[in-house]
Structure formats: C-alpha cells, structure tokens
Amino acid sequence: MPPKQKNGKKILIIDGESMTYKTLKEILEYEGYVAITAQNGRDAIKICKEDSSIDFVTTGFRLAYYNGIEVAKKIKEMRPDIPIVLISGIELKEISARPEYDESLFAGYINKPMNLKPLLSTIKKTIRLRK
C-alpha cells in the first residue's frame, strides 16, 4: 500500500529509545505527517522554541535532562495550545502519582508496547479539533 498524501501537519516525537522514535517516525510519515524527532528533553524544548509550525507532540517519560512531565510543562509554557501525548512503558497510575504530574498537560496517554490505532486516532481527532 503506498504512503498517504502529505497533509502538512508536523509532529514532534520525543523518545530516548531509538527503536521507538524511528518506528513512530516511519509510521507517521507513512500516514502523511511530517515527523521530526528529539532524543532528549533539552533538544525537544529547543526544537519547540525554534519551530512554531509543530502541530502535535508525542513524548516518552524517561528522557535525558527532563522527564516527559517536565518537557510537557516547558513546551506548554511556550505553546499552551499544542496537544501532547505521553507514551510510556510505565503505568499511568505510577506516573500520575508523581507530585509534578498534571493531567491537563496531556491530550492522552499510550502505554508501551503501543497500539498504534489509539495514537493515530488521538492525533487525527486532536489536530482536527484545532482547526
């Protein structure tokens, strides 16, 4: 099956695991998105500062420099309207028990190993609502 037509929507993938971000990048590009990657929180924040055309963010939890919650907070300070989905192998109840966790930072949570259907559905629905 050929890749879908480019839709011009840009997604930032933040994940410290190269297999995860490479696979996700390939799938999102196949789905017609422009996908860019960052392997750590510091790079992700820099990318968001420099590129205001990012439409959606996925972030892992365990990242170098900042965890996924800290990254989401810093991105939301710059871009309060940008949807962020947390993708992690750690259960949400464990992450949400952290004092810095704020549910309002995230448009959704996907557990690893991830099922791509909920992620793609969340991306499509959230981007459509932002139009």
Closest residue by Cα to residue 85 from 100, 103, 66, 98 = 103
Higher pLDDT, 84 or 119: 84
Residue 11 one-letter amino acid:
I
pLDDT of residue 128: 72
Residue 102 CB coordination number (10 Å) = 13
Per cent of the chain over pLDDT 90 is 73
In 26-103, beta strands by DSSP E: 34-38, 54-59, 84-88
Q: What is the pLDDT of residues 88-108, one digit of tens each?
A: 999 999 999 999 999 999 999
pLDDT of residue 130: 63
- CA 120 to chain centroid: 11
Closest residue by Cα to residue 130 from 90, 87, 79, 65 = 79
Flag whether pLDDT at 24 surpasses 90: yes
Distance of alpha carbon 86 from alpha carbon 24, whole angstroms? 13
pLDDT of residue 127: 77
DSSP single-letter state for residue 105: G
Q: What is the pLDDT of residues 43-83, one digit of tens each?
A: 999 999 999 999 999 999 999 999 999 999 999 999 999 99
pLDDT of residue 15: 95
Helix (H, G, I), strand (E, B) or coil at 64: strand
Q: Give the architecture (CATH level 2) of 10-130.
A: 3-Layer(aba) Sandwich (3.40)
Domain ranges of the chain: 10-130
Provide the edge-to-edge strand list for the sheet that holds 34-38: 34-38, 10-14, 54-59, 84-88, 108-111
